[in-house]
Amino acid sequence: MTTPSKPLTALTTDPTGRALGLSLPPGSLVTETNDGLWREPLLWVADGTAAPGTWAQYLPARHAAGLQPVLLQDEPRIKEWWDGELDPGMMSDPGDYRAEEVLKTFWESAVSDTFEDEEDEGETIAPFTGSWPGLASPKRTAADPDTTAADIADALIKHSLDSPRLALVPVDRAADLPAAIGWSGPVNHENDVARLCAVLRSWEDRFGIQVVALSYARLDLSVAAPPQTLDEALAVAAEHFAFCPDNIWQGYETIHLYAEEALVGNTHWTFWWD
Is residue 74 scored above 90 in pLDDT?
no
Counting Cβ atoms within 10 Å, is residue 99 exposed (0-12), middle (13-18) or buried (19+)? buried
pLDDT on residue 274? 83
Whether pLDDT at 81 is above 60: yes
How many Cβ atoms are within 10 Å of 137's Cβ, its own excluded? Answer: 11
Predicted confidence at residue 4, as pLDDT, reads 46
Q: What is the mean pLDDT of the chain?
A: 91
Q: pLDDT tens digit string along 144-198?
A: 999 999 999 999 999 999 889 999 999 999 999 999 999 999 998 999 999 999 9
Answer whether residue 267 shows pLDDT above 50. yes
DSSP string across 124-168? TTTT--SS---PPPPPS----HHHHHHHHHHHHHHHT-SS-EEEE
Taking alpha carbons only, the member of 155, 162, 160 closest to residue 56 is 155
The enclosing H or E element of 55 equals helix 54-57
User: Can you give the pTM of this predicted structure?
Assistant: 0.94
Quick one: what percent of the chain has pLDDT higher than 90? 75
Cα–chain-centroid distance for residue 4? Answer: 19
Element (H, E) at 6: helix 6-10
Whole-number Å distance between alpha carbons of 258 and 135: 17
CA-based max dimension of the chain = 62
